[in-house]
Structure 1
Amino acid sequence: MNFNELTNFITGWMASLENNSIEPSSEHFAFDTPLVGCASGADSLFPFFKKDIGPNFYWLPEEAFSFAFPEDGANAEELRVVAWILPQTEHTRRAHRRAKTMPSIEWSRVRKYGEMANVALHKAVVAKLQQEGIQACAPSQLSGWARHTSEKYGFASSWSERHAAYACGLGTFGLSDGLITSVGKAVRVGSVIVRAAFQPTPRPYTQHNEWCLYYAKGKCRACMERCPAGAISEAGHDKEKCKRYIRTVTSVHVEQEQLGFPVNSCGLCQAKVPCEYRNPTKSLKKSSESPKV
């Protein structure tokens, strides 16, 4: 299996409504067509992430791989990180643009059932690769994956899907910490580590925040205005405020008014913003995709 074949498998798997529905028995997809990218396990970004985020807990690709295959480790040069972007559909984004202080029910459904689809995709990709005789693991699904506290950034974990996607050339970070991709910031993300010689995807950027209008052009702040918790400022994203609002306000709303059980749903900073469904630093021709609110 080569990288193109793996990409086709991922897009084909997500093209099935059985795998990718907004809720059980729904006729609506949870996500649009995925984007897929690849980075070498020896990419210098990975040691930088470890040092910057948490040298005592953050995994290098070879460390995560060795956790999955303790008796058959690999060096970084043998490994590839493959990441994917799952874009929210226009159906979900349209509903979410109208939301103000609470998430739309469509967004909450995707946060629950769409993320279940994302987890299932991780497992399907690993199973497919192993079926092809290729060793693979999904770091975020390993039993050793855990949440940690970064001295520099607060909430963190053993492996970041967004940072993996950044290394794979799929997007850069914004003022709200979200990953802005070529199909926008309203996305979910996943990744696997593969022992294969796939060609890495070129990164079309050099700065970690290059596709954010605020950092690139000194304007915008739309995500600040959309955040009901006041968790986004020119200083960046306050994770504590964000978590507190989600756990004590929106999650309760989802349980009492929407789905009947709590879900950590919000994402208001990802809709009705210039980076909702595109890279806003690129010129955009008028189209039917322009947000209507």
Structure 2
Amino acid sequence: MDIPSLAARLVGWMAVPENNSLGPGLDLPAFDAPLVGCAPGDDPLFDFLKRDIGPGFYWTPVEAFAHAFPGTEAVSTDLSVVSWVLPQTEHTRRAHARTGDMPSIEWSRARHYGEKVNEALRRFVVELFAEEGVEACAPALLPLWTRAESPKYGFASTWSERHTAHVCGLGTFGLSDGLITPRGKAIRVGSVVVRARLTPTPRTYTDHHEWCLFFAGGKCRACMKRCPAGAISEKGHDKVKCKTYIRSITAPYVEERQLGFRVNSCGLCQVRVPCEHRNPTARREG
């Protein structure tokens, strides 16, 4: 299966309302149609991420694959990584842009039920390859996936969906650490590792901050102004301040005022910013 064919299958799957719902009993979709990218399992950036984020815990594609299929003799040159971006809908983005210091209920639903959609999509992609006799796994769904502490960056995990998407040509990072994609940074991200050599998606950038207006010219600080926790500055994203605000302020709010259970919902820095739904450094068409 090539990437265009796979992308078409993902778009078709997401078009089914039962697969892509913002919540029980709602007709609204959780996300717009996905963007799909691919990188070879031996792309040097995967080894760089391991060294940079956490040599002792961060997985390369071949390590994730080995956890999914113990005893296999796969090497990195056998593998490809498929990543996708799920853009938030205009309905969700507009609702979230109208809020103040608390997340909209639409965003909270997308954070909870939308990630359920993403989990199901991961399983669907793994099954698609399995039907063709190709082994595949979703690293984020593996039992050994866990959160960890990076000596350099603090909070981290054994497999980062955002960093994987970056390697797969789907975007670069902004001042807030969000991934800015061709459809902006109001997104969710997923990926699978496949035992097949697929055609890679070209990376049209050379720097990991290339699509962020602040790093491109120092002029944009919109995400700083949007953050109620003061967790974004010109030095970057303070993960501790961000996590503290979400766990102590917004998650209880979602439980008490919105969904009846805790959801780590915020994402205010992802809307009412130039990179909300596009790459702001790209020339507008027309």
TM-score normalised per structure 2:
0.98
**d(CA) in 1 for partners of 2:50, 2:146:** 15
**Cα distance in 2 for residues equivalent to 1:168 and 1:125:** 16
Instruction: Give runs of aligned pairs for residues 71-110 of structure 1, distance below 5 A.
Output: 71-110=71-110
Tell me if the contact between 2:3 and 2:36 (Cα under 8 Å) persists in the aligned partners: no
1:291 is matched with which residue? none
Equivalents in 2 of 1:223, 1:15: separation in Å? 31
1:104-152 CA deviation, whole Å, 9 max, x = no partner?
0100010010011001111111112111101000001001111100000
Residue 161, structure 1, aligned to residue 161, structure 2: yes
Given that residues 62 and 73 in structure 1 are in contact (C-alpha distance below 8 angstroms), is that contact kept between their aligned partners in structure 2? no
Q: One-letter code of the match for 1:254?
A: V
C-alpha separation in 2, matches of 1:73 and 1:86: 33
1:163-211 deviation per Cα after TM superposition (whole angstroms, max 9, x unaligned): 1000000000000000000000000000000011210000010000000
CA displacement, residues 51-104 of structure 1 (integer Å, 9 cap, x when unaligned): 000000000110000111112231111100000000000000000111110000
Identity %: 64
Give the root-mean-square deviation of aligned CA atoms: 0.9
Q: What SS does the corresponding residue of 1:82 show, helix, strand or coil? A: strand
Matched position secondary structure for 1:211: coil
Matches within 5 A, 1:280-291: 280-284=280-284
**What aligned pairs does 1:170-249 form with structure 2 within 5 A after superposition?**
170-249=170-249
**Equivalent position of 1:40 in the other structure:** 40
Query: Aligned partners of 1:25 and 1:124: how far apart in 2?
Result: 22
| Equivalent in the alignment of 2:20 | 20
Query: How many residue pairs are counted as aligned between the two chains?
Result: 286
Once the two structures are TM-superposed, the CA of residue 285 in structure 1 deviates from its matched residue by 5.5
Q: Is the CA contact 2:22–2:113 (under 8 Å) kept in the aligned structure 1?
A: yes
Per the alignment, residue 9 of structure 1 pairs with 9
Structure 2 partner of 1:269: 269
Q: Secondary structure at the match of 1:244?
A: helix
Describe the superposition over 1:26-56 as per-residue Cα deviations: whole angstroms up to 9, x where unpaired: 1110000100000000100001000000000
Deviation at 1:283, TM superposition (A): 2.6
1:225 shift after superposition: 0.1
Deviation larger for 277-286 or 94-103: 277-286
1:222 partner letter: A
Whole-Å separation in 2 of the counterparts to 1:117 and 1:227? 27
Please say if residues 213 and 280 of structure 1, whose CA atoms lie closer than 8 Å, have aligned partners that are also in contact: yes
* Counterpart residue number, 1:121: 121
Please say if residues 138 and 192 of structure 2, whose CA atoms lie closer than 8 Å, have aligned partners that are also in contact.
yes
CA distance in 2, matches of 1:62, 1:283: 37
What runs of 5+ residues in structure 1 fail to find an aligned partner? 287-293
Distance 2:217 2:27 in 1: 40
Q: Which runs of no fewer than 5 residues in structure 2 stay unpaired?
A: none
Deviations 1:252-276 (A, max 9, x none): 1101111111110000000000000
The letter for the 1-side match of 2:263 is V
Instruction: Give the ranges of 4+ consecutive aligned residues of structure 1 lying more than 4 Å apart after TM superposition.
Output: none
Shift of 1:2: 2.4
- The answer to whether the Cα contact below 8 Å between 1:83 and 1:190 also exists between their aligned partners in 2 is yes
Shift of 1:15: 1.1
- Tell me how far apart the structure 1 counterparts of residues 270 and 73 of structure 2 sit (CA, whole Å): 39
AA aligned to 1:178 is: G
Paired amino acid for 2:268 = L
CA distance in 2, matches of 1:225, 1:282: 23
